[in-house]
Amino acid sequence: MDTAGERSADRVTAVAAAVGAAFFELGVDTAFGVLGSGNFVATEAFVAAGGTFHAARHEGGAASMADGFGRVTGRPALVSVHQGPGLTNAITAIGEAAKARVPMVVFAGDTAPGALRSNFRIDQHALVESVGARAERLHGPRSALADATRALARARDERRPVVLMAPVDLQEEAVDEAAPATPPPAPLPAGAAPGAIATLADLLLAARRPLVIAGRGAVVADAGEALAELGERAGAMLATTAMAKGLFAGHPHLLGISGGFSSPPTAELIASADLVLAVGASLTPWTTREGSLFAAAEKLVRIDVEADAAVGEGADLVVLGDAAEVTAALCAELAERGHDCRRYPEIEAAARRCAWRLQRFEEASGPGQIDPRSFSIALEAALPTERTVVVDSGHFVGWPAMYLEPPDARSWVFVNAFQAVGLGLGAAIGAAVARPDRVTVLAIGDGGLLMSLPELETAARLGLRLLIVAYDDAAYGAEVHPFGAAGHDVSLVRFPDTDLAAIGRAAGLGAVTVREYADLEPVATWAAAPDGPLLVDAKVDPAVCAEWLTLTFEQGHP
Ligand SMILES: Cc1ncc(C[n+]2csc(CCOP(=O)(O)OP(=O)(O)O)c2C)c(N)n1
Ligand SMILES: [Mg+2]
């Protein structure tokens, strides 16, 4: 029988080491995490096998990094966390990734089944399932590699985080198999039945003003090109949800984002549609303005791969299938019926009026403060077009959604599926790790940044080409505006001015404070040759309230 000493000397055969190495052999090349006794050996083996591990400073940061990495690349990263509090620290970010359908594998230490009095003991399975992630487990030394393989395949196929529980006693046992199991082939995406395609084509051809709204499901399915072709063939207006911005970047039929971030002409055109085709979009109240945007539409059709996601919202027809496959079949059907691709000048002319930068507003820069809208427009001009844009949550969220343009949907990381403040910095670090060739821009509030400060050190240590833009109103603006308007005591959600630039410098970043346009010059200089992260503390006028927020509290949804 092995002694503990012999087992640790022979690391390659320990379950922990074999599983860590297996993830790399199965194609996962990047990991983020915080190491402790329950995940050290597995992570060490992942690195020894050839993987790259980035140490985060908080597990919430680590899981958000995997989220950003997963959205930009479409590939799962490994998250490595300690049992108990290591996993609870990561859970909000895991919930975000579950809701946004981002694949990732979380290797989580777990207490030994018999360790009933361990301080670390919680019901990890129930915890992760409660936020929509999947719980998997290393069951024994004989199945460990198959267990790891299955966890990864599920993350890929179910497009969500899978948390692999790794009991610490089992991790030390000798593994029976030397090589990971071969993962099953990814299931081929299914299109809709021919009858459903014919019905969809009938509806499209009968419509006078059809509109396609594409959501994150369309991004995940890489359906952008097929949907753009559909727009051209059917003469449909194109819009995206906030999550899918960038999917139709530069397309002449693009109206913009559907919902609170619609410009007035965009909203008007969306409301004029008689047929709405929602593709991979869950149609939240944010996208539909509480249903009001589609009130006049005669038909609402939904295409989704998940029956759950497509149920409700009064759809007239739900077609189950992969967004790209269904759309391609629909294009083929229209072509077969002789409905040829042609230009639709009236849609193009209408779409040209939609961009937010063309809408007028009254400049509101007080002394020492900058208008967040004109600041965003100036920022857009200072940045190279090749960029990844990452957005945290809060009142400020509309400004980047309205004024910053990603070149495509994989370059837009809108970390708002769980609507949690403070996940953006981690996601931006993961996105920047995934695309070291280009600039990553994070838009975040002062509240969100102060919630995620530990990862400033990570950003500096990794020397990323990351621009952190804090819309700093010294407040939880998302609470100040609605509660202030209703007569509440907003001193509870206002704070003294914080010198975020000084905090950035202390963590090892370059930093500038922006109070007027001239202060943006160092940003343009940095963008021309970025050499490590730069933090911009933009002191924005706290009195400017976005129309989308006013609309939201008038309509009564959080
Ligand atoms: C984790 C979490 N805590 C609290 C909230 C409630 N909340 C929504 S927005 C917000 C304020 C965020 O402040 P900041 O990042 O400065 O952005 P601002 O609204 O000021 O633009 C808060 C506290 C939340 N959504 N998520
Ligand atoms: Mg704020």
Pocket of ligand 1 contains residue 478 by CB under 6 Å: yes
Nearest to 388 by CA among 355, 420, 426, 434: 434
Distance (Å, whole) CA 287 – CA 461: 38
511 pairs with which residues across the strands? 535
Distance (Å, whole) CA 426 – CA 256: 27
Distance (Å, whole) CA 348 – CA 406: 20
Among 423, 476, 490, which residue has the most ligand 1 atoms within 8 Å of its CB, making it the best to mutate? 476
Pocket of ligand 1 contains residue 321 by CB under 6 Å: no
Listed as ranges, residues in the chain with pLDDT below 50 are 1-12
Query: Edge-to-edge, what's the strand order for the sheet holding 510-514?
Result: 412-414, 387-391, 439-445, 466-472, 534-539, 510-514
Distance of CA 173 to the CA centre of its chain: 37
Pocket of ligand 1 contains residue 44 by CB under 6 Å: no
Closest Cα to atom 4 of ligand 1: 421
441 pairs with which residues across the strands? 389, 467
Residue 231, CB-side half-sphere exposure with 13 Å CA sphere: 27
- Which alpha helices (H) appear in 100-239, and where do they start and end? 124-130, 144-158, 168-171, 194-206, 216-220, 224-234
Predicted confidence (pLDDT) per residue in 287-346, tens digit: 999 989 999 999 999 999 988 776 666 799 999 999 999 999 999 999 999 887 777 889
Q: Which residues contact 185 (CB under 8 A, 6 or more apart)?
A: none
The pLDDT value recorded for residue 366 is: 78
The pLDDT value recorded for residue 347 is: 94
CA 419 / ligand 1 centre spacing (Å): 9
Among the bound ligands, the one closest to the CA of 447 = 1
Distance (Å, whole) CA 398 – CA 506: 30
Residue 468 φ/ψ region, left for φ over 0, alpha for ψ in the -120 to 50 degree band, beta for the rest: beta
The pLDDT value recorded for residue 307 is: 82
Pocket of ligand 1 contains residue 448 by CB under 6 Å: yes
Report the amino acid identity of residue 315.
A
The pLDDT value recorded for residue 558 is: 67
CA-to-CA separations, 132 to 13, 95, 417, 511, 527, in angstroms, rounded:
33, 6, 12, 38, 38
Closest Cα to atom 8 of ligand 1: 394
Asked if residue 372 lies in contact with residue 540, where contact means CB atoms within 8 angstroms, the answer is yes
Instruction: Give the DSSP letter of residue 188.
Output: P
Pocket of ligand 1 contains residue 475 by CB under 6 Å: yes
Pocket of ligand 1 contains residue 173 by CB under 6 Å: no
3-state secondary structure of 466: strand
